[in-house]
Amino acid sequence: MANERRLAQAQIATRCCSCPNLLSFAIMRCLSTALLMTLAGAQDPAEGWMAYAVGSLPSSVERITRLEMTWTVGQTPTWSYAFFSPWFGMDPADNLNLIQPVNPWSGSGWSMYTEYYQWSPEHNSNSRSYSVQAGQTLHGALVYSAADDSYTLSQTVVETGETSSQVVQCQSGKKFVVPYVVYEKVFSCYTYPGDGKVSFRNIIVECDGTDCTQDVQWEARIKDDNCNMQAHVDSASLSSDSNEISITWDVNARSAYDNMTRAELINLNAHGWGARFAAEALKQAEINV
């Protein structure tokens, strides 16, 4: 599914040109700005990451050979045009090749799949998407194969056994060494799940084939400050049966994005995996105008 992002953005542009309402024309004006923002970022952490945790490995480590986490799908948010996702993943040292199991809210439902996003040359691939429900358990895994220098990306709904997976080749022999836990896409605070927290638990990290879970040093950071989003890493380096990284937020907080129009918010978030969700948000917005 290479260039899925470009296709979705082209769909947005097509709708903008063909639909006479003001919302579409506003989105057409903003789209070029969104594309430029994506290109200007040029690497992870990308625009739209809010609170996140990033791990540092011992200097002797060549690559992460396994990264696994489990989490619970959040409460059903208030219906809106907003789209966002908690996820974990990892990059090589240059932060240009992100592999990740994702769990997006589309505005009307939760889903899960895996994604690979390569910044240069631009390339995107997604595994099959499955609908999931609030309260279900997701288990994601990124597992290295030395035989063909690749990673198998998988995500499973624990209660049903449904699994979405794909194999991603390492670009030019790059070694993945930067693990992340992220909450992504900026909208007004009331649009996020009312439980105000997601916890990634039972974290397993293997370095060069050996367990290094307790050797990873995690740091909490903020890229785009919104809704008092905070990552919590105090328990991140415990053993896998008791560790966790959580991200919290306040649905009652004021947001810097409250005064943006619907068109502006859709386009602000229309990069990366958000492109196809932005196209759908535009479609729904036109129906409801």
Q: pLDDT tens digits, residue range 176-228?
A: 999 999 999 999 999 999 999 999 999 999 999 999 999 999 999 999 999 99
Clarify whether residues 104 and 169 are in a common domain. yes
Q: Does pLDDT of 18 surpass 90? A: no
Question: Which of the two residues, 284 and 170, has the higher pLDDT score?
Answer: 170
Amino acid making up residue 11: Q
CATH number at residue 197: 2.60.120.700
Range of the structural domain that residue 163 is part of = 49-255
Clarify whether residues 161 and 277 are in a common domain. no
Q: Which residues contact 144 (CB under 8 A, 6 or more apart)?
A: 63, 64, 65, 66, 150, 151, 176
Clarify whether residues 251 and 279 are in a common domain. no
Clarify whether residues 164 and 206 are in a common domain. yes
In terms of DSSP bridges, do strands 97-102 and 210-211 run parallel, antiparallel, or are they unpaired? unpaired
Q: Which residues contact 71 (CB under 8 A, 6 or more apart)?
A: 86, 103, 137, 138, 198, 199, 200, 201
Q: Does pLDDT of 273 surpass 60? A: yes
Q: Which of 122, 167, 93 is nearest to 2 (CA)?
A: 122
Whether the CB-CB separation of 2 and 125 falls below 8 Å is answered with: yes
- The overall average pLDDT reported for the chain is 89
Alpha-carbon separation of residue 1 from 5, 68, 107, 199 (angstroms): 9, 24, 23, 30
* Exposed / middle / buried, residue 212 (Cβ in 10 Å: 0-12, 13-18, 19+): buried
* Global pTM value: 0.87
Clarify whether residues 178 and 286 are in a common domain. no
Clarify whether residues 24 and 75 are in a common domain. no
Percentage of the chain beyond pLDDT 70 is 84
Clarify whether residues 198 and 139 are in a common domain. yes
Clarify whether residues 212 and 157 are in a common domain. yes
Clarify whether residues 245 and 283 are in a common domain. no
Q: pLDDT tens digits, residue range 19-78?
A: 445 444 444 444 444 444 444 456 999 999 999 999 999 999 999 999 999 999 999 998
Amino acid making up residue 211: D
Percentage of the chain beyond pLDDT 90 is 77
Clarify whether residues 70 and 1 are in a common domain. no
Q: Which residues contact 261 (CB under 8 A, 6 or more apart)?
A: 26
Backbone torsions φ then ψ of 120, nearest 5 degrees: -150, 125
Clarify whether residues 114 and 195 are in a common domain. yes
How many folded domains does the chain comprise?
2
